[in-house]
């Protein structure tokens, strides 16, 4: 999911044509304010737009049971404005938010009794109609009345409108297990606006529409997970694989947690994780660095350092001590995913695992050649190395043809693994991977927006400079290193296998999706769900944006965009 969200975030990339530099350390200027906030600045003369963003070093891994999903909820809440943005009468808004908090506390007391009934088998779930008491109905009616009063006092999407009216584009954000990132492009003569807007939402958060937005997140979870063919099953497998580790719960949160989070809990979370000493900002473009530093101190410097340092994530992965198979029937073609526990980002074996994934991946990789071209038992095959901030996983995935048993796919996977463990890889394969990575390294420095996102992303994992040192470490990987990590990690007692068979009465999958990977199918489903939920006028607007972005999207996203455009047109 992390890589999917990053791909979607980069859909709107526009090539700047800026000069390419050889070393990040030569072009990145790092500064730290007295309150601990860090700024990374990259000068790119001639660029009319500045790519700007900041990262809160907090993600789903920093949560705990009871408030899972709160990091992702903040991604939504940070666009809701402040006392000066997004509201007609700030004093009235304060009163209404206090009323909502009081009513929600009374509702939470009743829900405490309802949870006990669910746990003791007296009700099926928290949505069981038998739990809907007269007291709860009365509170809900009062709650909705105040919500409507609050909506009438709101200037909807004013935060976005201010930026758009001043020529800014691409305002967005993403959350994953390790970070929350906010970004946009701002005209270089409007940079002070960015400093004021971003510091205002950090220094004066009001969490407006908190409870209604919580419901939006709940609906997002329904679209991403519960309404997709394999979403719920993937979630179950993930929790089994990570067994107690913070990566075991979904970024969007458990539904019972999302529906119970209070604004007070959100305020406490914000005070710890959105304090300036837990933030890093990035500017890439044509601007005066001395002036930018003055604005940084003037606007962000007024925010006090956090009183409580973010607590460490101390839970470590518990070894599987024996592989497991998770089997399920789904409304989708047969598929298999093999997951192996590996190492966190920056680990000693991380570069060799990256090379191993690239050797196996792609239409010229071993997996596609074997499963799709030679044996003709799969429509797609891929490998991924996902080293995150606190741990890592190596995955092999394949979508089988309709008549293929997933155990057959698994058997072939294991055969290919054993070949590498026994014989290693060729010098040609290693050189091809090195060339591909060198090209990627060149491209990431070429585009201002891409560079800004990458600096934020790698700083969220460990440190921004590691994106360059990692490339250097990858170029030093040998064939023996790749064989060694295959023998070390791709073992039966370190493996979780996810095997899906199609339900007997399942509707056939759209043939147009046959060549799509699981991530592409998931992205298509999410985009279609979001479009279908909009009015016809809004659909036309969103379709126009998709068509405009299509040529600039990553190659793997272009077929997804084409598919979504065609389905909505129908």
**CATH number for the domain that contains residue 462:** 3.30.830.10
Helices 210-221 and 263-273, axial angle in degrees (round to 10): 80
C-alpha–C-alpha distance, residues 296 and 30, integer Å: 12
pLDDT of 18 reads 35
Return the percentage of the chain with pLDDT > 90, whole number: 66
Q: Is residue 204 part of a domain?
A: yes
532 against 123, higher pLDDT: 123
Q: Is residue 309 part of a domain?
A: no
Q: Is 198 exposed, middle or buried (0-12, 13-18, 19+ CB in 10 A)?
A: buried
Which residues neighbour 556 within 8 Å (Cβ) at sequence distance 6 or greater? 7, 517, 519, 520
pLDDT of 520 reads 75
For 330, the domain range is 324-502
C-alpha–C-alpha distance, residues 567 and 256, integer Å: 33
User: 546 and 564 share a domain?
Assistant: yes
Q: Quickly state the pLDDT bin for 564 (edges 50, 70, 90).
A: confident
Q: Is residue 509 part of a domain?
A: no
User: 225 and 338 share a domain?
Assistant: no
Residue 73 has pLDDT above 70, yes or no: yes
What letter would DSSP give residue 87? B
Among 20-29, 220-229, 417-426, the minimum mean pLDDT is found in 20-29
User: 565 and 547 share a domain?
Assistant: yes
C-alpha–C-alpha distance, residues 98 and 115, integer Å: 25
- Average pLDDT (249-270) is 92
Last residue of a domain, one of 300, 332, 357: 300
278 against 519, higher pLDDT: 278
Last residue of a domain, one of 129, 153, 177: 153
User: 468 and 351 share a domain?
Assistant: yes
Q: Is residue 314 part of a domain?
A: no
Residue 420 has pLDDT above 70, yes or no: yes
C-alpha–C-alpha distance, residues 277 and 308, integer Å: 10
Residue 21 has pLDDT above 60, yes or no: no
Q: Quickly state the pLDDT bin for 396 (edges 50, 70, 90).
A: very high
Q: Is residue 513 part of a domain?
A: no
Among 179-188, 524-533, 554-563, the minimum mean pLDDT is found in 524-533
User: 354 and 262 share a domain?
Assistant: no
What letter would DSSP give residue 508? P
User: 262 and 113 share a domain?
Assistant: no
C-alpha–C-alpha distance, residues 282 and 382, integer Å: 33
Across the chain, mean pLDDT equals 88
- Average pLDDT (307-335) is 93
User: 146 and 173 share a domain?
Assistant: no
Q: Mean pLDDT highest for which of 77-81, 422-426, 439-443, 469-473?
A: 422-426
C-alpha–C-alpha distance, residues 47 and 18, integer Å: 8
pLDDT of 16 reads 32
Which residues neighbour 45 within 8 Å (Cβ) at sequence distance 6 or greater? 286
User: 199 and 92 share a domain?
Assistant: no
Contact 82, 202 (CB under 8 A): no
Is residue 276 helix, strand or coil? helix
pLDDT of 507 reads 62
291 against 259, higher pLDDT: 291
Q: Is residue 4 part of a domain?
A: no
Helices 536-549 and 518-532, axial angle in degrees (round to 10): 140
User: 282 and 335 share a domain?
Assistant: no
Last residue of a domain, one of 134, 153, 172: 153
Q: How many domains are there within the chain? A: 4
User: 386 and 473 share a domain?
Assistant: yes
Q: Is residue 441 part of a domain?
A: yes
Q: Is residue 412 part of a domain?
A: yes
pLDDT of 20 reads 43
Angle at 263 between CA 457 and CA 77, to 5 degrees: 40
| Host H or E run for residue 396 | strand 392-400
Strands (E), 468-510: 495-502
User: 178 and 37 share a domain?
Assistant: yes
User: 187 and 74 share a domain?
Assistant: yes
Structure tokens at 421: 């463990």
C-alpha–C-alpha distance, residues 484 and 120, integer Å: 51
**Which tens digits make up the pLDDT trace of 506-518?**
566 677 777 777 6
């Amino acid at each position: 999911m992390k890589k999917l969200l990053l791909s979607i975030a980069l859909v709107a990339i526009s090539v700047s044509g800026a000069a390419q530099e050889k070393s990040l350390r030569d072009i990145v200027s790092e500064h730290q304010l007295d309150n601990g906030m860090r700024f990374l600045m990259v000068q790119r003369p001639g660029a009319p737009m500045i790519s700007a963003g900041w990262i809160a070093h907090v993600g789903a891994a920093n949560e705990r049971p009871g408030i899972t999903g709160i990091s992702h909820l903040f991604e939504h809440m940070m666009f809701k404005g402040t006392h000066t943005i997004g509201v007609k009468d700030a004093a009235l808004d304060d009163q209404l938010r206090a009323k909502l908090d009081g009513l929600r506390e009374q509702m939470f007391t009743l829900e405490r009794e309802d949870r006990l009934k669910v746990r003791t088998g007296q009700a099926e779930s928290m949505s069981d109609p038998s739990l809907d008491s007269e007291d709860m109905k009365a509170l809900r009616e009062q709650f909705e009345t105040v919500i409507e009063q609050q909506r009438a006092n709101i200037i909807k999407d004013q935060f976005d409108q201010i930026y758009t009216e001043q020529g800014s584009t691409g305002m967005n954000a993403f959350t994953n297990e390790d970070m929350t990132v906010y970004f946009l492009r701002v005209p270089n003569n409007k940079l002070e606006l960015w400093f004021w807007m971003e510091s205002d939402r950090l220094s004066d958060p009001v969490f407006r529409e908190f409870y209604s937005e919580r419901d939006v997140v709940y609906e997002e979870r329904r679209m991403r997970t519960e309404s997709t063919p394999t979403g719920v099953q993937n979630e179950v497998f993930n929790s089994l694989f990570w067994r107690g580790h913070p990566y075991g719960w979904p970024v969007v949160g458990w539904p019972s947690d999302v529906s119970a989070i209070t604004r007070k809990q959100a305020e406490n979370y914000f005070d710890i994780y959105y304090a300036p000493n837990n933030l890093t900002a990035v500017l890439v473009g044509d601007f005066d660095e001395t002036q930018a530093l003055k604005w940084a101190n003037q606007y962000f410097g007024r925010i006090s350092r956090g009183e409580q340092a973010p607590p460490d994530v101390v839970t470590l992965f518990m070894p599987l001590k024996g592989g497991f198979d998770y089997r399920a029937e789904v409304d989708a073609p047969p598929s298999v995913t093999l997951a192996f526990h590996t190492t966190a980002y920056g680990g000693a074996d991380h570069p060799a695992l990256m090379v191993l994934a690239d050797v196996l991946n792609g239409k010229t990789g071993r997996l596609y050649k074997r499963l799709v071209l030679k044996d003709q038992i799969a429509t797609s095959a891929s490998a991924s190395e996902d080293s995150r901030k606190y741990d890592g996983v190596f995955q092999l995935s394949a979508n089988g043809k309709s008549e293929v048993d997933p155990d057959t796919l698994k058997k072939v996977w294991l055969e290919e693994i054993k070949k590498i463990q026994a014989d290693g890889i060729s010098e040609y394969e290693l050189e091809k991977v090195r060339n591909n990575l060198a090209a990627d390294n060149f491209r990431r420095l070429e585009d201002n927006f891409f560079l800004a996102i990458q600096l934020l992303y790698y700083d969220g994992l460990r440190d921004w400079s590691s994106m360059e040192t990692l490339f250097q470490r990858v170029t030093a990987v040998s064939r023996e290193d790749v064989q060694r990590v295959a023998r070390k990690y791709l073992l039966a007692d370190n493996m979780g296998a996810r095997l899906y068979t199609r339900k007997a009465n399942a509707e056939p999958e759209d043939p147009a999706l046959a060549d799509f990977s699981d991530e592409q199918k998931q992205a298509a489903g999410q985009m279609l769900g979001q479009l279908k939920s909009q009015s016809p006028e809004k659909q036309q607007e969103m379709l126009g944006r998709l068509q405009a972005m299509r040529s600039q999207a990553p190659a793997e996203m272009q077929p997804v965009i084409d598919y979504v455009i065609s389905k909505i047109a129908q």
